[in-house]
């Protein structure tokens, strides 16, 4: 890196001036600057003044894999720094001197062993991005609420059990990732984060949400999967801009009424939530493209599911459904239909309308026959029918010329029938055992 330094000032004299301005002795300054310079590849014959100029002029510094136990306080000399990345360095402490880097815009301390942050972190008034994921943080200082320009905060994979209410002061926050912590509740002040577009609180220990969760009305993505929620507050209906909602692996039992009004939803995941019934009001969600309901206790689907005309992916694996409504045929945009591990004895002839279907999985049911209308599904690439009770497959399956994989394991098919199927689908991988 080239250094631009003009003038013929004596090195020691200038060094003394710098040391005096920093209220340090000359020897201490020299030692500190030499240490900081060791982080970079620069010429050793440079004067102290030149080295100081080099250090203080740095704007972007990345120091990964440094094997530091403590981040050196000498980072304070990087006074014009705008981007600092100290990742995967095993550091356990952040010095108070971090607060002297008041020009910082982006700070990345991810992949360390940091257990706490100094209060001085709140001095970084220009900070826009703060990445602290994969550390061992157990708490956050209240001063974090001073970072009024922050738009992105990544705290995933730490050990946080609570959040300071001052977090609500981050009024410009756009994305926040709190996943994989130990949170049991959220501060009510989270409702003040009105610019938030993406919020991830998955893999925590939340048992309830306060009404204030309905405050960030611009939210597009909300991930709450792998918690212990038993209900969703009605105020969540205020999140009318929400497009993706993931509640997988909670204990809801009943379909949350608040979801009925989320008419901009495109992806809804309610898998493993102990649901026993899907309400007819699901028809309100006309923009849904992905609906995931696997591993629940559903015994049927409402006819109104046919109104979800934008749906491209439907997963109802591992339920107790014994039949599909004929309205399933109205889902003409479906490319993936997953109905594994239910109690289906037949498939409705209406599936012939699902002409965009590329993946159909119906393994682990009680199917005894396949409708001849399956021949209409000419775009099918994978068809899984294993673990059923099929004694016969008709020649209509030969129409599936795009089929790449057909699994028929554990069905009572004769040897002759197996040979026929192979001859009908010469380019398809067919498995019987």
pLDDT per residue as tens digits for the range 365-393: 999 999 999 999 999 999 999 999 999 99
Residues 6+ apart with CB under 8 A from 192: 168, 169, 171, 215
Number of domains in the chain: 1
In a domain, 13, yes or no: yes
In a domain, 200, yes or no: no
Q: What is the share, in percent, of the chain residues with pLDDT greater than 90?
A: 83
- Compute CA distances 72 → 63, 96, 97, 257, whole Å: 12, 10, 9, 53
Residue 43 lies in a domain: yes
| Separation CA 316–CA 324 (nearest Å) | 11
Inside any domain, residue 180: no
Would you say residue 294 has pLDDT above 50? yes
pLDDT > 70? residue 53: yes
Question: Domain residues for 38?
Answer: 1-57
pLDDT in tens, 23-43: 556 577 778 788 887 787 766
User: Any idea of the CA torsion for 198, 204, 207, 210, to the nearest 10 degrees?
Assistant: -30
Question: Does some domain include residue 225?
Answer: no
Q: What is the reported pTM?
A: 0.91
Q: Is residue 32 part of a domain?
A: yes
Task: Give a yes or no: residue 254 inside a domain.
Answer: no
Contact (Cβ atoms closer than 8 angstroms) between residue 309 and residue 329? no
12, part of any domain: yes
- Are 396 and 419 spatial neighbours (Cβ–Cβ below 8 Å)? no
In this predicted model, what pLDDT tens digit does every residue of 168-203 receive, in sequence order? 999 999 999 999 999 999 999 999 999 999 999 999
**How high is the mean pLDDT of the chain?**
92
């Amino acid at each position: 890196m080239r250094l631009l330094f003009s003038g013929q000032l004596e090195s020691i004299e200038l060094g003394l001036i710098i040391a005096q301005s920093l209220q340090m002795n000359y020897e201490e300054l020299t030692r500190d600057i030499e240490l900081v310079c060791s982080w970079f590849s620069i010429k050793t014959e440079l004067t102290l003044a030149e080295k100081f100029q080099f250090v203080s002029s740095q704007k972007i510094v990345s120091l990964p894999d440094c094997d530091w136990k403590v981040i050196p306080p000498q980072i304070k000399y990087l006074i014009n720094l705008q981007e600092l990345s100290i990742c995967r360095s095993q550091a356990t402490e952040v010095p108070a001197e971090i607060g002297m880097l008041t020009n910082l815009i982006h700070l990345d301390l991810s992949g360390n062993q940091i257990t706490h942050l100094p209060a001085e972190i709140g001095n970084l008034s220009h900070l826009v991005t703060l990445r602290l994921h994969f550390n061992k943080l157990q708490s956050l200082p209240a001063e974090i609420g001073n970072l009024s320009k922050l738009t992105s905060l990544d705290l995933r994979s730490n050990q946080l059990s609570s959040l300071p209410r001052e977090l609500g002061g981050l009024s410009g926050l756009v994305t926040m990732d709190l996943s994989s912590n130990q949170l049991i509740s959220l501060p009510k002040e989270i409702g003040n984060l009105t610019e938030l577009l993406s919020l991830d609180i998955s893999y925590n220990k939340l048992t309830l949400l306060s009404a204030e969760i309905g405050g960030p009305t611009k939210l597009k993505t909300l991930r709450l999967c792998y918690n212990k929620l038993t209900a969703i507050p009605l105020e969540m209906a205020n999140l009318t801009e929400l497009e993706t909602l993931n509640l997988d692996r909670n204990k809801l039992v009943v379909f949350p009424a608040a979801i009925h009004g989320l008419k901009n939803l495109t992806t809804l995941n309610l898998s493993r939530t102990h649901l026993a019934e899907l309400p007819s009001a699901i028809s309100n969600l006309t923009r849904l493209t992905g609906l995931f309901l696997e591993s629940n206790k559903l015994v049927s689907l409402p006819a109104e599911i046919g109104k979800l005309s934008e749906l491209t992916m439907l997963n109802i694996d591992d339920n107790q459904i014994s039949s599909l409504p004929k309205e399933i045929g109205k889902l003409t945009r479906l490319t993936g239909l997953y109905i594994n591990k239910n109690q289906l004895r037949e498939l409705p002839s209406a599936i012939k309308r699902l002409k965009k279907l590329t993946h159909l999985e119906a393994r682990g049911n009680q199917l005894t026959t396949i409708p001849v209308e399956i021949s209409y599904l000419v775009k099918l690439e994978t068809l899984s029918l294993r673990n059923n009770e099929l004694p016969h497959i008709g020649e209509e399956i030969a129409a599936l010329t795009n089929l790449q994989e057909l699994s028929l394991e554990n069905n009572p098919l004769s040897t002759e029938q197996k040979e026929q199927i192979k001859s009908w689908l010469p380019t398809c991988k067919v498995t019987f055992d």
